[in-house]
Structures are given as structure tokens and as C-alpha cells.
Amino acid sequence: MELYPESQEKLQELLGYQFRDSRLLFEALTHSSYAQEASEYLRDNEQMEFLGDAVLNFIVSVRLADSFPHYAEGKLSLARARLVGTEYLATVAARLDIGRFIHLGRGEEKTGGRGNPGLLVNALEALLAAIYRDGGLPAAQDFVERFVLPADLAASGEELVSPNYKSALQEYLHAKLLPAPRYRVVGEEGPEHRKTFVVEVLVGDLGAARGRGATKKAAEQEAAKGLFELLEKEKESGKEPEEESRLGSQESE
């Protein structure tokens, strides 16, 4: 099988890390679909992914404990979950453009595997494991510092431990087989230097909620919070939403 040395070289340039054992990098980038179609035996990246997940959790845990010594275990766990979660790691994988370096089988290629968030996150974790195997913990820590952790981790503390209502709403709707939420800016208030954005979140014909914030992202969180809390109230009253029912509208101040 072709080892695609040029692609590996490009990735190493992007990472700023040169592998001593290029076989580790190749394994990290080998999806099971590719290994199954190979004419000779190849190791896929599933074991690397397993190790990378553990290494990532360890490194992130140490950095969070060092950066926030006064945080209780619950807060540290919440911050870690945010930083090692699929949603966040998918953005890291996208920034690194890992998809174009992965070796995929023909079927996986045809079904858009290079853009599959779960597949990309698995490859990212496998890549971290390969770096750990090749260069030890210092090399793995350097990778996490440069590509995974926020540039100013200390300043990101409150954001990391605040509830992510957008994710909570998404997960709730997905579990109920309901439409995905749609966000739109419906207004801007105040002077340019102190602008407040008004965002509305809609879920099909089921209901809507609005939120305000100094940034669009903050307003989206407030809107998601309003709709999520409305859904929770409906759930407690035994009136869980269905496609043919409408929740109404709520605004989060």
C-alpha cells in the first residue's frame, strides 16, 4: 500500500513536529475501512485512539488543576468535559484540516468520511497518541498546549464551567427526534461600542425563545437557555413536545 509520504510531510510541517518513526503517524491516520481493504496487514488507528483519549484527559486534567487551584472537582470535571468533548475537538480537527490526511477505504470515502466529525476526532486523538509514542509526554503536552487548549486558559475559566445550553438543547431535541434548533439575529440594540444582540432560536413549529447578549454567541446561549428551560417545564408537567404541538414563545432577559 502507498504510504503517502508527501501528505505525512505536509502534516508534520503543519504540526511543527517531525516523527522519528513515521510508521506511528501512518497508523494514526489509518481508518479501519482502509486497513480492511489493504492487500497486506495494516494496523488501524483504533488502539491509538484509545490511548490518545487517555493521554488527552490526563494532560487537560493537569493543566486545569494547575490553572484553577481553587476550583472544586465538579467545576474541573465540567471544564474538562468541554475541552475533550466531540463538539470542541471537532473544531480543533477542522482547524488542522486532518480530514485530508486520513487514509480511508473506498466506501468511507464515498460517504463523506473526511467530513465526519466523529471520524476526525478519532483521528485527532490517535494523532496525539502517535506523538506521545514517538516523543513522550513533553511532545504530547506541547501538542495539546498549541492546538487544543485555549490560548489564554486562565481567562477562559468561567466560560468553560458555565452551562452550555446550546449543546443541552441540541442533545434534548436529538433524543426526542425533534428538528434541530435554528438561530437568527433579530435585532441589535445600543451604541456601536456597547451593542446588544438579540437572537431568536426556533425549533420547527414547536416554539421559539429570544436571548440578549454583548456578542451573538452569548445571545444564542441565552436564547437556548430560555427554550431549554421551557422544554424542561413542559417535561415536568407531563406535556413533552411532539411534532404536532406548539410550545409557544419565551424571551430570556
Kindly report, residue by residue over 107-138, the tens digit of the pLDDT.
888 888 888 888 999 999 999 999 999 999 99
Question: Is residue 74 very low, low, confident or very high in pLDDT (cuts 50, 70, 90)?
Answer: confident
Q: Which of 27, 44, 125, 220 is catalytic?
A: 125
Q: Which part of the chain has CATH 1.10.1520.10?
A: 5-161
165-252 belongs to CATH 3.30.160.20: yes
5-161 belongs to CATH 1.10.3720.10: no
Residue 98 pLDDT more than 60?
yes
Angle (CA) 20 135 92, round 5°: 105
pLDDT tens-digit map of 50-73: 999 999 999 999 999 999 999 999
* CA separation, residue 111 to residues 23, 44, 106 (Å): 27, 19, 9
Q: Which of 44, 53, 108, 222 is catalytic?
A: 53
Q: Which part of the chain has CATH 3.30.160.20?
A: 165-252
User: 2-11, 161-170, 240-249: which has the minimum mean pLDDT?
Assistant: 240-249
Residue 53 among the catalytic residues: yes
Residue 125 among the catalytic residues: yes
Angle (CA) 215 219 224, round 5°: 150
Classify residue 59 as exposed, middle or buried by CB count within 10 Å of its CB (0-12, 13-18, 19+).
buried
